[in-house]
Each structure stands twice: as C-alpha cells, then as structure tokens.
Amino acid sequence: MDNPCPPSKPWWRYGFVWLVIAGPAAVVVAGVATLVIAAQGADSLVAKDYYRRGIEINQQLARERALMPANQARNHAATPTAQP
C-alpha cells in the first residue's frame, strides 16, 4: 500500500517548537539568576542601632536648619546692590 504523505520531520526540526520552549526556558534562567543574585548580595534590612542613628540624623538636620538664616544673610550681604 502506497503512503501518499511524505514522512514527517522529527519534532526538533520545527522552529515553532523551539519558539514555544524558549519562553518558559528564559523565565527559568532569569529566575535562577535572580535567586543567585539575591543569595549572594543579601543585605541586612535594619541596622542594630537604627534608633540612635535616626536621632543623630534629626539632630544634625536641626543644627543645619538653625544656621539657615545666617547663611541666607551672609549670601545676601555679598550680593551687589543696584545704584540709582
């Protein structure tokens, strides 16, 4: 009996199959890369003395705010005035 259909190619010879496989494979590779990066570069979330550091930052900002009028006056005094 004659077979009117030619023999089909193996599945790996079809480009569409590789297109379908490439999407999930890329997601798996990206997931593994993300996991490796996260495991190697794990940072501590909060410093042990976070409260003291926060108080020091607030004190420094308060000192800078207290000097602000002096800085503005000094800069204004150095500005030339217009002569009529």
Q: Tokens 């410093």 — which residue?
A: 47
Q: Where are the domains of the chain?
A: 13-71
Q: Assess whether pLDDT exceeds 80 at residue 73.
A: no
- Which of 10, 31, 9, 11 has its CA nearest to residue 19? 11
The model's pLDDT over 48-58, given as tens digits with 9 standing for 90+, comes to: 888 999 999 99
Amino acid at 65: R
The model's pLDDT over 17-72, given as tens digits with 9 standing for 90+, comes to: 999 999 999 999 999 999 999 888 877 777 888 899 999 999 999 988 887 766 66
